[in-house]
Chains A and B, each alone.
Chain A
Amino acid sequence: MDALHRLLRPTFWKLVFVLVVGAGLYATWLRFTKGLGAATALSDRFPWGIWIGFDILCGVGLAAGGFTMAAAVHIFRVKRFEAVVRPAILTAFLGYVLVVFALMFDLGRPWVVWHPLVMWNPHSVMFEVAWCVMLYTTVLALEFSPMVFERLGWSRALRRVRRALPYFVVLGVLLSTLHQSSLGSLYLIVPTKLHPLWYTPLLPIQFFLSAAAIGSAMVLFESRLSGRAFGHELPAAVRVDLARVMMVLLVPFALLRLADLARRGALGLAFEPTMEALLFQVEFSLGVVLPIVLVAIRRVRHSPQGPFVAAICAILGFVTHRLNVSITGMDATQKTGYFPAWTELAVTMMIVAFGFVAFALAVKFLPVFHRVAAESDGAEAAH
């Protein structure tokens, strides 16, 4: 078999994948036979680690391109972004599926993950989060389904989904707004435990704004990577516009962050000789200010690398912010010195690896990028 041979031919990335998945599977076995204690560095004083901080908080945030691009194309009819709406929705769908997958590792009793469906506590942010995850994953599956139906040639199913698409998109934007902000709301309950550089009553708004900004950054990032691998570059004008959208959303985030720190009298903490201050400086200067400045400079914005570099900075800054909220900022008061066990990292890396492979397979076998030049989604959705 030719295809089989091609699949089995060793390459560097295939080797990495096998190693990462091997380590991840061992960690999985440890987690589900010996419990969370054997597989993680978590403790009663530090009950949420990197599986929440990265896999969930960053995973959901990095999927935000799905709702921003869907809103841009299907609600605001920005024709220029029609080329990127499909990869953005694919990323969001895979992101949410992997978030649910990661949740199975972190939950102590994952076999009753469905309980929030029937056991309600509307006072709980976690209850809102649970419902948002369930509903939005369903909506994303529907938004993603045209790629599959098109591939299979199921034209009747395709027509039906397309007719309903505008409604799904509005629903998806609403659910995303709630979900992205509620991840920040989760931390409103720990005013005495989270470091004042990160605790603020505005956490839900900050989480929403940063996610919305990072949506375009992720589209830039992944279209560049898959463009390299599959040979379809984004048009320069689209790259520049995505970078602009990212900047326009990062600016209010930056201003809100500074104004909030100043109002709470916490700005001085950013310049003290502490680990927290250093991490804040990295997060804010390299992850927020630098990408804004890069995009603001016309020459950089219009250069072939500029938008991509700015997007990478913003993504790293975004991840740093969420890890600072969930890990650094919490450990500043809990003082457990939490650092993820290697098995925690192995599971996280395995999940990221699954994400990359699933994305690559989808791009290869489904009409994600290569229908770009043909008829537009947005126009059909109207009829």
Chain B
Amino acid sequence: MKGLLIDVTRCIGCWECSNACAKANSLPPVDSLTRATGADLSADRFTVLRKVELGDRGRRYVRRMCMHCLEPTCASVCPVGALHRTPQGPVVYEVDRCIGCRYCIMACPHNVPRYEWDEAAPRVRKCVLCAPRVARGEPTACAAACPMAATVFGDRKELLAEARRRMVESPDLYEGGVFGEWEAGGTGVLFLSDVPFGSIGFPSNLPDHPLGANTEAVLSHLPDVLLIGGSLLFGLQWIIHRRDKLAEEAEAVVAEGAAAKEDAAGRPLVTNGGGGK
């Protein structure tokens, strides 16, 4: 299970990761203007650097990209299974299944997937952890391009061990543990930082469990609703119709009786069959 370890303390903001990503995914190249002014994720930019000014603590560059969740919310919500996580780790997208409901974009707790809003046949776009390269046994383009080893590629287990080793080695440097170890069930992309994650744009309110559990808990009751609801409704209908039928028959009998004997018992015993034919 592959992933990335991104150490914010090592990043110098050169944008080579984004540029390599653009080449690997045939996206427009990262020009000097983008490097200078920055950019957000978009349908043709799968990873960017967010420049964060922290006053006296200086400046940080934080990579933004798909986090490749271990239990991806996007894959859980997609009605047609257009998004799924491969056994190797990348969360990938199949446009041939997608119906364009954009529930993945709504649901992603990291606000990652982007849409081709100006296309007549739009696709969802995001980093796929260079799935074809990873399948060939190569590292992702961004990790291969990073001159500072701020982004390293490897097995998630080993990357976590490496992150812990760094934290033990420099106990005063890092803050806030490893982002991605548990967040929303854990992510394939792990971050280390020397400033609180909340201060450099990471969501701080994510639960430790996968978000898909929220909806799957409700969906698991669906068969119960059908079985109990269905049998109850049919049963009720059967009882009520039977009761009405008996009431009508009783009414008919009473009416006959009344016709035969002038001085009948009076009104029928039933109270609710009055509206019949």
Q: Which of B234, B241, B276 has the most CB of A within 10 A?
A: B241
Task: Contact check, B237 vs A170: say whether CB atoms are below 8 A apart.
Answer: yes
Q: A47 at the A/B interface (Cβ < 8 Å)?
A: yes
Task: Contact check, A121 vs B122: say whether CB atoms are below 8 A apart.
Answer: no
Q: Which residues of B contact A32 (CB under 8 A)?
A: 120
| CB nearest to B40 among chain A residues | A44
Query: A24-60, CB under 8 A of B: which get 1 and which 0?
Result: 0000000011111110001111011000000000000
Q: In the assembly, what is the distance between CA of A110 and CA of B80, in Å?
A: 13
Q: Which residues of A contact B79 (CB under 8 A)?
A: 115-116, 121, 124, 126-127, 129-130
Q: Which residues of B contact A185 (CB under 8 A)?
A: 215, 218-219
Q: Which residues of A contact B212 (CB under 8 A)?
A: 123, 189
In chain B, positions 220-274 with a C-beta closer than 8 Å to chain A are 222, 225-226, 229-230, 233-234, 236-237, 240-241, 244-245, 272
Q: Which of A75-83, A144-152, A243-251 lies at the binding interface?
A: A75-83
Q: Show 28 A/B contacts (Cβ-Cβ < 8 Å), sorted by A.
A: A32-B120, A35-B118, A35-B119, A37-B118, A42-B117, A44-B105, A47-B105, A76-B240, A107-B99, A113-B99, A115-B80, A119-B80, A121-B79, A123-B76, A123-B212, A126-B103, A170-B230, A170-B233, A173-B229, A173-B233, A174-B229, A177-B229, A178-B222, A178-B225, A181-B218, A189-B103, A189-B214, A189-B215
| CB nearest to A106 among chain B residues | B101
Task: Contact check, B106 vs A190: say whether CB atoms are below 8 A apart.
Answer: yes
Q: B37 at the A/B interface (Cβ < 8 Å)?
A: no
Contacts A44-B113, A121-B79, A192-B203 given; indicate if A382 touches B229 (C-beta within 8 A). no
Task: Contact check, A189 vs B100: say whether CB atoms are below 8 A apart.
Answer: no
Query: A186-222, CB under 8 A of B: which get 1 and which 0?
Result: 1011111100000001001000000000000000000
Q: B73 at the A/B interface (Cβ < 8 Å)?
A: yes
Q: B107 at the A/B interface (Cβ < 8 Å)?
A: yes
Expressed in whole angstroms, the minimum distance between the Cβ of A133 and any Cβ of chain B is: 11
Q: Which of B76, B100, B226 has the most CB of A within 10 A?
A: B100
In chain B, positions 83-140 with a C-beta closer than 8 Å to chain A are 97-103, 105-107, 109, 111, 113-122
Partner-A contacts on B (CB < 8 A): 41-42, 73, 76-82, 97-103, 105-107, 109, 111, 113-122, 203, 205-207, 211-212, 214-216, 218-219, 222, 225-226, 229-230, 233-234, 236-237, 240-241, 244-245, 272, 275-277
In chain A, positions 91-108 with a C-beta closer than 8 Å to chain B are 106-108
Contacts A107-B101, A189-B215, A382-B244 given; indicate if A124 touches B120 (C-beta within 8 A). no
Q: A157 at the A/B interface (Cβ < 8 Å)?
A: no
Q: A379 at the A/B interface (Cβ < 8 Å)?
A: yes
Q: Which residues of A contact B215 (CB under 8 A)?
A: 123-125, 185, 188-189
Expressed in whole angstroms, the minimum distance between the Cβ of B120 and any Cβ of chain A is: 5
Contacts A47-B115, A128-B222 given; indicate if A191 touches B102 (C-beta within 8 A). no
Contacts A35-B118, A109-B98, A170-B230 given; indicate if A124 touches B244 (C-beta within 8 A). no
Q: Which residues of B contact A375 (CB under 8 A)?
A: 277
Q: Which residues of B contact A305 (CB under 8 A)?
A: none
Among B111, B121, B218, point to the contact of A45 (Cβ < 8 A): B111
Q: A237 at the A/B interface (Cβ < 8 Å)?
A: no
Q: Which residues of A contact B105 (CB under 8 A)?
A: 44, 47
Q: Which residues of A contact B236 (CB under 8 A)?
A: 75-76
Q: In the assembly, what is the distance between CA of A186 and CA of B219, in Å?
A: 11
In chain A, positions 333-383 with a C-beta closer than 8 Å to chain B are 375-376, 379, 382
Q: In the assembly, what is the distance between CA of A60 and CA of B178, in Å?
A: 44
Expressed in whole angstroms, the minimum distance between the Cβ of A7 and any Cβ of chain B is: 36
| CB nearest to A113 among chain B residues | B99
| CB nearest to A192 among chain B residues | B205
Q: In the assembly, what is the distance between CA of A35 and CA of B121, in Å?
A: 8
| CB nearest to B227 among chain A residues | A174
Q: Which residues of B contact A43 (CB under 8 A)?
A: 117
Q: In the assembly, what is the distance between CA of A94 and CA of B84, in Å?
A: 36
Q: Which residues of A contact B226 (CB under 8 A)?
A: 174, 178
Task: Contact check, A192 vs B102: say whether CB atoms are below 8 A apart.
Answer: no
| CB nearest to A117 among chain B residues | B80
Query: A130-141, CB under 8 A of B: which get 1 and which 0?
Result: 100000000000
| CB nearest to B97 among chain A residues | A119
Among A35, A79, A119, point to the contact of B120 (Cβ < 8 A): A35
Q: In the assembly, what is the distance between CA of A36 and CA of B231, in Å?
A: 44
Query: Knowing that A44-B111, A110-B100, A201-B214 are A-B contacts, what are 7 other residue pairs whose CB atoms are under 8 Å apart, sorted by A's residue number?
Result: A35-B122, A36-B115, A77-B241, A115-B97, A124-B79, A186-B103, A375-B277
Task: Contact check, A123 vs B240: say whether CB atoms are below 8 A apart.
Answer: no
Q: In the assembly, what is the distance between CA of A43 and CA of B78, in Å?
A: 19
Q: In the assembly, what is the distance between CA of A382 and CA of B207, in Å?
A: 52
Q: Which residues of A contact B237 (CB under 8 A)?
A: 74-75, 166, 169-170
Expressed in whole angstroms, the minimum distance between the Cβ of B247 and any Cβ of chain A is: 10
Contacts A35-B120, A107-B99 given; indicate if A126 touches B109 (C-beta within 8 A). no
Q: A122 at the A/B interface (Cβ < 8 Å)?
A: yes
Task: Contact check, B218 vs A108: say whether CB atoms are below 8 A apart.
Answer: no
Q: In the assembly, what is the distance between CA of A71 and CA of B240, in Å?
A: 12
Expressed in whole angstroms, the minimum distance between the Cβ of B237 and any Cβ of chain A is: 5
Q: Which residues of A contact B244 (CB under 8 A)?
A: 77, 382
